[in-house]
Amino acid sequence: MGFFIGVERNVKIYVEDINPSGNKTILFIHGWPGNHNLFEYQFNQLPKVGYRCIGIDCRGFGLSDRPWTGYDYNRLSDDIRSVVHALRLKNFILGGHSTGGAICVRYMARHNGYGVSKLALFAAAAPSLIQRPYFPYGLQKQAVINIIQGIYTDRPKALRDFGNMIFYNPVSKPLSYWIFQLGLQAASWSTAAIANTWLGEEGLFYDLKTIKVPTLILHGINDQVCLYPLAVSQKNSIKNSKLVPFEACGHFLFYDQRERFNSELIQFIEE
């Protein structure tokens, strides 16, 4: 069941609510530059074991509205809060991939984890996607600048190049093309704006330390986008957390190793 929820004046977010009568709820936040459809292979399986799965398209992506502004982590986490309020969600599991994971971290800090019983981070872009003087573990800043320049000059090529980084294990050309098309559905300005957010000082180092709920961290050892040391930093910062490394696995771990991914997530939900 798909519908739209207003998050601020003239801005609506698309929401897909699968198995609304499920006994436990998982709210999924996608990464850049996709949309909720990236979790297709979770939406196919998790409702079979009784879960309610909710996927949203972040503003500027998928079917959601595409305002010119509002692509910092504060506003994006406020959008989640609006969805949580509209759907009256309580005791739900919040899960985020890549930049979606960073948005979830900000939600936990900015909104005191409102309604969240457990947090799951999938190859999350936290505490920082790029290297900094005090954090030498991310991508080089120039790599992100190159992505942004590519979006403004040849967005299809930039997305193709990104697509070549996300898998460790080979995937079919149709699957690769499908993910590429999901990226093209986003507005070019929102695609660039999110990438610019990676360069800013978003303060996720502090945000991680505010998280108090049980947290699952799933991360591919061979991730070329959000490098594995990010997961170690998350584990060291979140007191009640569990890190599960995925061997022979890249950034899109929910495809690279989808059976194990789903199994680990279900086990965490049932604990």
Residues with catalytic function: 98, 223, 251
What DSSP string describes 64-116? Answer: S---SS--SHHHHHHHHHHHHHHHT--SEEEEEETHHHHHHHHHHHHTTTTTE
Query: In angstroms, rounded to a whole number, what is the distance separating the alpha carbons of residues 186 and 209?
Result: 32
- Give the CA dihedral 88, 122, 102, 31, nearest 10 degrees: -90
Tokens at 180, concatenated: 């590429």
Alpha helices in the chain (DSSP H): 40-43, 73-87, 99-110, 141-163, 173-184, 188-199, 204-209, 228-237, 253-256, 258-270
Q: Between the CA of residue 133 and those of 27, 102, 140, 231, 256, what are the distances in Å?
A: 34, 20, 11, 19, 32
Report strand pairing: 92-97 vs 24-29: parallel
Question: Would you say 136 and 70 are in contact if contact means Cβ atoms under 8 Å apart?
Answer: no
